[in-house]
Amino acid sequence: MFGCIGRSAQAQNLAQVLYRFENRALTLGRYGSVAVFQQNLFAQAANCSGKSPGSYGGADGIVGAKTRQAIIDLQPCLNAAVRAAVGAENYGAITVGLWRLLMPTNMAPPDAITRANHLTFALEGTDYDVIQFNFCQSRNPRSGKTFLEGDPYCHTNDPRAYLTWGPRGATAGAGAEIQQILFAAERANPGLLQSVFGPFTEDMHRLALGNNDAAFDVLCAIWVDDQKRDDFTRRFAAYGARAEVQAAYHRVYDAVNADGGKIARFFNLYGAIKSVIGRDPTEIDLAFFIDRATHGSVPPGDISQLVERMTKFVTRTSDVPSPGELRKQLAAWLPTHHKYNDRLARDAIFLVDDPQVVLSDAHQRMWLQRSGLKASDFGLSDRRYVASYPVARPTGYEAIEKFYTVLPEDKRACPSTVRRARQK
């Protein structure tokens, strides 16, 4: 069935793992190339094993037991040379060779940056078509109900994020990432908001151009009305499913004035100590940088003191610390005071693959409880290096003067109880 692999592909390490399911399924998103790979894999595995393609489930971007079984079911239809080339010994893993065997030549295997972003996606757990209103979302400890479920009071655990969207947790609140994405997508595709949001188009324009107070009132007026909220959620799902919107989402987060700039600080830091560590950041370093930029503390704008501390740490003995040891120390120097336990659990993901690192009991416990994932599950290695990150220019949104864009009827629609939310 599959007799050979092209000569150009043979020059690569075809047995290199891209994704491997072990204990926890990897949620990589329904809209990326992994879902296309699954579709091709399920069809070929079903043809080989005599099963129905549907027996493996849908092509949902979740690499778990069904995907692994499909890879195993495909093996009998590969000759011995091909099985060896695509890394059949990597029990059910998606390898470079298997990807090239099943995918068109114009869809290259996901690179380290893509897979590092997939790791953070797996931790955030929301796709591009998922939004969450954050008004009064917490339950009253006494009644066990939320405001929308009939409790007279409004409780929230995040009063500064009125709406959350997508894999990086974009918010329409303090960070205003949603407004920036709306602006970037509309600027690149004029009329897109009108075509998707219909009767909510003016609300979306007022949200994108409004200040923080405007974002609260515009979104609260939609959220408090059951019919409007359901229609808005459905339209936003259709909006997020569009490729041009996902491109704008990436564009905003890669900008120098957003996460891209935070990631660049890490690269600048490692560039400053390259003479003493003798290397560029590793693939696992890269994933650590991206995840820290998404959810945690990052180096300050002035990295000089941190460079001095890291240099002393590296040169304190004749043995250069391993990549994991350096990440562990850096994490200690960049403490996260918000959601401390969650950060411990996430940092452990970037430490467990390094045999030189001894995890604390707290790291180990929180890691197993919250994810149990490893950077190597995403094919990331401390033996391969990444010299830079493609930081994008500012979108231009930051230069726009924001103002209060709310209509009187919208302001009246938001209940006073919601404005006096109690923080949980």
DSSP letter string over 96-123?
HHHHHHHS-TTSPPP-HHHHHHHHHHHH
Using alpha carbons, select from 125, 114, 235 the residue that is nearest to residue 169: 125
Q: What is the pLDDT of residue 4?
A: 47
The mean pLDDT value for 213-224 works out to 96
The mean pLDDT value for 398-416 works out to 93
DSSP letter string over 62-101?
EESHHHHHHHHHHGGGB-HHHHHHTTTTSTT-EEHHHHHH
- pLDDT, tens digit, for every residue of 104-131? 999 999 999 999 999 999 998 889 999 9
- Yes or no: say if 374 and 352 are a contact pair by the CB < 8 Å rule: yes
Q: What is the pLDDT of residue 236?
A: 98
What percent of the chain shows pLDDT beyond 90? 81
Q: What is the pLDDT of residue 177?
A: 94
Q: What is the pLDDT of residue 424?
A: 65
- pLDDT, tens digit, for every residue of 290-330? 999 988 899 999 999 999 999 999 999 999 999 999 999 99
Q: What is the pLDDT of residue 20?
A: 94
**Spatial separation of the C-alpha atoms in residues 86 and 103, rounded to whole Å:** 13
Could you give the C-alpha distances from 115 to 19, 123, 282, in angstroms and in order?
Answer: 8, 13, 13
Phi and psi dihedrals of 399, rounded to 5? -85, -10
In the predicted model, is pLDDT for residue 353 greater than 70?
yes
Using alpha carbons, select from 306, 281, 302, 299 the residue that is nearest to residue 375: 281
Q: Where are the domains of the chain?
A: 7-110, 131-250+400-423, 259-378
In the predicted model, is pLDDT for residue 286 greater than 70?
yes
- pLDDT, tens digit, for every residue of 128-152? 999 999 999 999 988 999 999 999 9
- pLDDT, tens digit, for every residue of 55-77? 999 999 999 999 999 999 998 89
